[in-house]
Amino acid sequence: MSIHQTFYQAIWHYAEGNLNAALTAAQSIAGQGELYAQAARWLAKVAQGGETSPYLETDAFAAFIRGGGNVALYDAVERMVAAAWDDHRPATILDVGPGDGEVIAGALRHTALEPLPAFDLVEPASNLLPKALHRLGQQTPPVKVRGFNHTIQSFVAEAPATARWDLCQATWSLQNLSPTERAPLLRWLKDRCGVLLIAEFDVQAEKYPLLSPERVRLIHDKYVAGVAEYTGQMDPALEERVKQGFLMPILFGYFRSDAARSTYEQPIGRWVGEVEAAGFRAVERRLIHHYWWADAYLITAQA
């Protein structure tokens, strides 16, 4: 059996919930490449202790976004977000899933906007929200910021009917919601935001069924490249944390059809379609960066 067929088997067994069979398959090719070695180590850990959200592994996520192709990706998105703020001059901004506040902090370095806007941050990861609040609290001049340790769904359920923001932004966070959750959220945003900014990836693998060989192969090839970006580039212990704490759970998460699936990405045209279907107008997409996982785009829309 080829390496690709064995990798496919590991994925298939994992998707079926058969962790021991997945582990056996991954271990049989662990010596054939870093991706497979990482997959085998991660499956061994999960078979013993179960899975946790990759976003709760704060150190892994922080090291991931500060290394590899993320350096150029974040620099580009921060400049484009700052330019959008400068164009639209928002006094209030809602950020859906700001993580540790990297995009906002970076955009604040590039914006010419005065006075600076007030931010509402809706971030469910209880370890990331305090980091974002701390970073923004240290800005000079100071920015007004409020944090809500909620998912956007529970925030929406509790928000007052009068809540409005000049600009709402979501950088790689709407992919965490299923399409059926996104549609009502986008309609809610349409009624409450002047301008919407969404950063997402153009994920072609999502044209194929969940466990089709084409989809597994495309994701495999991307992750060979992604894992290589965190191999021999920084502190080896930190690289191991990035791969075990972030890249592997995200990779395997692509093949879960149950409630524990962590991402619902799609080709960029479908993102644009969802935003238009929610009633936004002047929906534009612009390339942010050719990233290892996929091309990244910024979608801008008017409510």
Ligand X SMILES: C[S@@+](CC[C@H](N)C(=O)[O-])C[C@H]1O[C@@H](n2cnc3c(N)ncnc32)[C@H](O)[C@@H]1O
Binding stretches for ligand X (CB under 6 A): 55, 65, 96-99, 102-103, 122-125, 128, 151-153, 171-173, 176-177
Nearest to 105 by CA among 92, 124, 91, 119: 119
- Based on CB atoms, which residue is closest to ligand X, 84 or 177? 177
Kind and range of the H or E element at 287?
strand 281-290
User: Residue written as tokens 């007030």?
Assistant: 118
User: Rounded to 10 degrees, what is the CA torsion of 251, 257, 262, 267?
Assistant: 80
- CA angle, residues 214, 218, 221, in degrees to nearest 5: 140
Residue 99 · residue 132 · CB < 8 Å: yes
E strand residue ranges, 86-210: 92-96, 118-122, 145-148, 165-171, 193-201
- Based on CB atoms, which residue is closest to ligand X, 22 or 174? 174
Residue 169's DSSP bridge partners are 95, 197
Nearest to 117 by CA among 125, 131, 107, 128: 107
Distance of alpha carbon 46 from alpha carbon 53, whole angstroms: 12
Residue 239 CB, nearest distance to ligand X (Å)? 19
Residue 226 · residue 191 · CB < 8 Å: no
Residue 49 CB, nearest distance to ligand X (Å)? 21
- Based on CB atoms, which residue is closest to ligand X, 78 or 239? 78
- Based on CB atoms, which residue is closest to ligand X, 26 or 298? 298
Residue 42 CB, nearest distance to ligand X (Å)? 19
- Based on CB atoms, which residue is closest to ligand X, 100 or 239? 100
Residue 287 CB, nearest distance to ligand X (Å)? 17
- Based on CB atoms, which residue is closest to ligand X, 157 or 232? 157
- Based on CB atoms, which residue is closest to ligand X, 98 or 147? 98
Nearest to 43 by CA among 209, 267, 228, 248: 248
Residue 206 CB, nearest distance to ligand X (Å)? 16
Intra-chain end-to-end CA distance of the chain, in Å = 53
Residue 103 CB, nearest distance to ligand X (Å)? 4
Residue 56 CB, nearest distance to ligand X (Å)? 9
